[in-house]
Structure 1
Amino acid sequence: MAYSYSPLVLLLLLLLLPFSVSAAVATVTGHENTAPREKLTHLHFFFHGRFASPNATAVLVAVPPGTNATFNTFGAVIVLDDMLKDGPEASSKLIGRAQGLTAQASLEGTYLLMVVNFVFTAGEYNGSSLAILGRFVPDVSGTERSIVGGTGKFRMARGYTVGNVYIWTASYFVLELDAYIVHY
């Protein structure tokens, strides 16, 4: 007597085949492809900038049409190449640069949109960077900005920075920053 298979049994076998193959592959490969453990790094440093020439590190590059704009005018765009140092004094050790731009993004007061990379050039994180995005309010302590990425030792970073104004004058500023970074 010849065996006959119903189409339902054949369909069931075809549907189960991928599960058995993936189970076999999972058993052979084990846990080799798991990601490394994440770690939390806390950095404390100072962001030094200079508005006035000579040696300005924050420069007004675009202003709204028909205005005699300053840094505080709505629509003003400022390009930065500021210094990251290990202390608040001008003589403190340079550990990196804050490179990017800010835009005066509010009609009511000085509220800057900040898009900047913290590029580390010395120490344990030399060659690594953090991408920062968020609002900066110069006269408010504890302003937070998001860490939205990173490179080098901070690859796939996320987290936040908390900034406090240490010094703010008409020609220069120093911000005290704490960065809380989750990365691999």
Structure 2
Amino acid sequence: MAYSSSFMLPLLLLLLLSLSLCATIATATGHEHTAPKEKMTHLHFYFHEMYSGPNATGLVVAVPPGKNSSIDTFGALIVIDDMLREGPERSSKLIGRAQGLSAQASLDGTALLTAINFVFTEGEYNGSTVAILGRAVPSAPAIERTIVGGSGRFRMARGYTVSKVISWGGGYFLMEFDAYIIHH
């Protein structure tokens, strides 16, 4: 059944008038919101992990049946509560914790999927967090991961981290991190 154009035109005009009125009412009664100005913060710190001994901060908590309990076993799940320090020395100032999970995600044992929260406990970022997610290949000259969120001073964070392994052995793992954080 076809409608005549003389019927459709008034209906279309009525629809447009209704939409315009709704938009006007919404604007008049709504609150005007302006987005906060974004900031870029660059943080430089060191990630210290003890993966053996009674005070280990990184533990393999699950491996596939019949496999050895090693970080390079495909399917291994590692939980961390590592130290974030100002410098590479074990005695340098503790500024936070790296808490999260790593899963061995490559059959050849070279790449991890990581989901880590950097929890800052000192200075102007005390109580704030940055969440990172991404692939980590410890043997790579640089490891880039995505910042997917944050809290506190880093609410609505996005950006990326670049890290590199400084040393690995004797039950101790040390990485240098640069975090480039865009936030409100």
Q: Give the structure-2-normalised TM-score.
A: 0.88
Q: Give the corresponding residue for 1:22.
A: 23
**Following TM superposition, by how much is the alpha carbon of 1:133 offset from its aligned partner in structure 2, in angstroms?**
0.5
Q: What is the alpha-carbon distance in structure 2 between the residues aligned to residue 148 and residue 28 of structure 1?
A: 34
Q: Which amino acid aligns with 1:16?
A: L
RMSD of aligned residue pairs (Cα, Å): 2.0
Whether 2:105 is the aligned partner of 1:133: answer: no
**Following TM superposition, by how much is the alpha carbon of 1:35 offset from its aligned partner in structure 2, in angstroms?**
1.0
Q: Give the corresponding residue for 2:159.
A: 159
Gaps of 5+ in 2: 1-5
Q: Which amino acid aligns with 2:17?
A: L
**Following TM superposition, by how much is the alpha carbon of 1:29 offset from its aligned partner in structure 2, in angstroms?**
6.3
SS of residue paired to 1:101 = strand
Q: Which amino acid aligns with 1:88?
A: P
SS of residue paired to 2:84 = strand
Q: Give the corresponding residue for 2:77.
A: 77
93-102 vs 136-145, greater mean Cα deviation: 136-145
Question: Which runs of 4 or more aligned residues in structure 1 lie more than 6 Å from their structure 2 counterparts after TM superposition?
Answer: 27-30
Q: Give the corresponding residue for 1:178.
A: 178
Q: Give the corresponding residue for 2:3.
A: none
Whether 2:148 is the aligned partner of 1:148: answer: yes
SS of residue paired to 1:174 = strand
**Following TM superposition, by how much is the alpha carbon of 1:9 offset from its aligned partner in structure 2, in angstroms?**
4.0
Q: What is the alpha-carbon distance in structure 2 between the residues aligned to residue 107 and residue 11 of structure 1?
A: 61
SS of residue paired to 2:124 = helix
1:140-178: CA deviations, max 9, x gaps?
121101111111111111111000111211411110000
Whether 2:92 is the aligned partner of 1:92: answer: yes
Q: What is the alpha-carbon distance in structure 2 between the residues aligned to residue 183 and residue 142 of structure 1?
A: 24
1:87-118: CA deviations, max 9, x gaps?
11001111110001101111123211111111
**Following TM superposition, by how much is the alpha carbon of 1:139 offset from its aligned partner in structure 2, in angstroms?**
1.4
Q: Give the structure-1-normalised TM-score.
A: 0.88
Q: Which amino acid aligns with 1:136?
A: A
Q: What is the alpha-carbon distance in structure 2 between the residues aligned to residue 74 and residue 170 of structure 1?
A: 22
**Following TM superposition, by how much is the alpha carbon of 1:12 offset from its aligned partner in structure 2, in angstroms?**
1.7
SS of residue paired to 1:98 = strand
How many positions carry a matched residue from both structures? 178
Q: What is the alpha-carbon distance in structure 1 between the residues aligned to residue 100 and residue 86 of structure 2?
A: 20
Q: What is the alpha-carbon distance in structure 2 between the residues aligned to residue 89 and residue 170 of structure 1?
A: 15
Q: Give the corresponding residue for 2:65.
A: 65
Q: What is the alpha-carbon distance in structure 1 between the residues aligned to residue 78 and residue 29 of structure 2?
A: 55
Gaps of 5+ in 1: 1-5
Q: What is the alpha-carbon distance in structure 1 between the residues aligned to residue 115 and residue 10 of structure 2?
A: 60
Q: Which amino acid aligns with 2:129?
A: S
**Following TM superposition, by how much is the alpha carbon of 1:14 offset from its aligned partner in structure 2, in angstroms?**
4.8
Q: What is the identity percentage for the equivalent residue pairs of Structure 1 and Structure 2?
A: 62
